[in-house]
């Protein structure tokens, strides 16, 4: 799962998202009905590029070494952004994944155990910085680290934020340093945690009792006995959610464009479907909602829709459904 975030005055907001699903029942072709085409966004857009098509939902066979997910990002402005990458249910694979940035010529190791990988980046006047194919995710062989961090996550618990992580080998460890940031770029040390040692599974928890009012970014600095350091992925905790709300505006829908606002809904994978009067789905997209409040710009210009009443359904993976009647002119 991939999200594109925009940075405005130091605060990130969700702009768009796309998803890749791996399963033995899927095929490489995109004509089996399991893939969902990307609806064109009026502003910044994130999609998966595969076999000449742009997808919001990509279904492909089980992941293997050197498999590549080609991200396609369009309509970027000269500003700061961030990519969020989630490796749900991939942690058991005997392989690693890297995010390749073709503009900076860098590779960033990704956490596949379900944690959030946040990668801030900037767009400048250089055309290569906003090239649609700047980023890709490549799967490779197992990653060997001096200290094996099995997983790490950060989350809100009432009025505090929790950072937790697991290790399976601390042979060369001196200490952990939990760092935090309000913008995902400049970090400060929040706490020092000494390791338990050994080659067994160890678990750690660190509490941030005074989190920032807005976004909170965390990472774990791993200090080795020889003085070298390595870092975990960056983990984002967003502000507490608001009252659940789904809004569509402006109405009636004209020229195939409208705004869909999700507020106070839990982080998750939401599927949007437009249903006609016969109960048939006529358009769809996947929204990768990070929680809190976000507005998605929906463009249906690529779908021929007769004027009339429709039902807009927004469903999350736990089967909770939100339905809104909309009039299309």
Residues 107-165 pLDDT 10s: 787 877 666 788 889 999 999 999 999 999 888 765 445 567 767 778 778 788 899 88
> Which domain covers residue 112, as residue numbers?
2-140
Least trusted range by pLDDT, from 87-91, 100-104, 162-166, 319-323: 87-91
What CATH number does the domain containing 304 carry? 2.60.40.3080
In tens, the pLDDT along 222-269 reads 888 888 777 777 777 766 654 466 777 677 777 777 777 776 677 777
Per residue in 15-60, pLDDT (tens digit) is: 888 888 777 777 776 666 677 888 777 788 988 888 788 888 887 7
Q: Are residues 217 and 280 in the same domain?
A: no
What pLDDT shows up at residue 90? 58
CB 135 within 8 A of CB 92: no
pLDDT tens by residue, 54-85: 888 887 777 666 678 899 999 999 998 989 88
- pLDDT number for residue 194: 93
Q: Is there a single domain that holds both residue 218 and residue 188?
A: yes
Q: Which residues contact 37 (CB under 8 A, 6 or more apart)?
A: 53, 54, 55, 56, 302
Same domain (yes/no): 133, 159: no
Neighbour-count burial of 281, counting CB atoms closer than 10 A to its CB (0-12 exposed, 13-18 middle, 19+ buried): exposed
Q: Are residues 163 and 62 in the same domain?
A: no
pTM across the whole model: 0.47
C-alpha 273/C-alpha 165 separation (Å) is 37
How much is the average pLDDT of 4-11? 80
pLDDT at 254: 77
Which of 118, 140, 162 is a domain's end point? 140
């Amino acid at each position: 799962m991939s999200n594109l975030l925009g940075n405005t005055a130091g605060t990130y907001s969700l702009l768009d998202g796309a998803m890749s699903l791996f399963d033995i029942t899927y095929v490489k072709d995109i004509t089996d009905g399991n893939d969902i085409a990307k609806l064109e966004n009026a502003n910044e857009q994130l999609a998966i590029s595969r076999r000449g098509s742009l997808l919001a939902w990509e279904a492909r066979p089980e992941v293997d070494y050197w498999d590549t997910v080609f991200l396609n990002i369009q309509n970027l402005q000269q500003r700061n952004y961030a990519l969020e990458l989630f490796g749900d249910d991939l942690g058991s694979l005997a392989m690693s994944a890297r995010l390749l940035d073709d503009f900076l010529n860098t590779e960033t190791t990704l956490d596949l155990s379900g944690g959030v990988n946040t990668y801030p980046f900037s767009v400048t006047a250089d055309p290569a910085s906003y090239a649609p194919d700047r980023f890709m995710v490549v799967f490779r062989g197992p990653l060997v680290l001096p200290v094996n961090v099995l997983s790490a996550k950060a989350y809100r618990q009432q009025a505090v934020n929790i950072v937790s992580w697991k290790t399976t080998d601390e042979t060369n460890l001196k200490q952990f340093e939990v760092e935090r940031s309000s913008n995902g770029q400049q970090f400060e040390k929040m706490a020092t945690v000494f390791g338990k040692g050994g080659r067994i599974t160890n678990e750690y928890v660190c509490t941030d009792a005074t989190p920032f009012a807005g976004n909170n970014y965390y990472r774990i600095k791993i200090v080795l006995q020889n003085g070298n350091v390595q870092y975990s992925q960056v983990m984002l905790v967003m502000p507490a959610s608001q009252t659940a709300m789904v809004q569509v505006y402006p109405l009636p829908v004209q020229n195939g464009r409208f705004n869909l606002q999700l507020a106070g809904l839990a982080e998750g994978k939401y599927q949007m479907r437009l249903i006609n009067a016969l109960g048939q789905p006529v358009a769809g997209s996947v929204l990768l909602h990070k929680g809190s409040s976000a507005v998605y710009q929906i463009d249906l210009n690529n779908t021929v829709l007769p004027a009339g009443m429709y039902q807009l359904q927004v469903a999350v993976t736990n089967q909770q459904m939100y339905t809104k009647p909309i009039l299309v002119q």
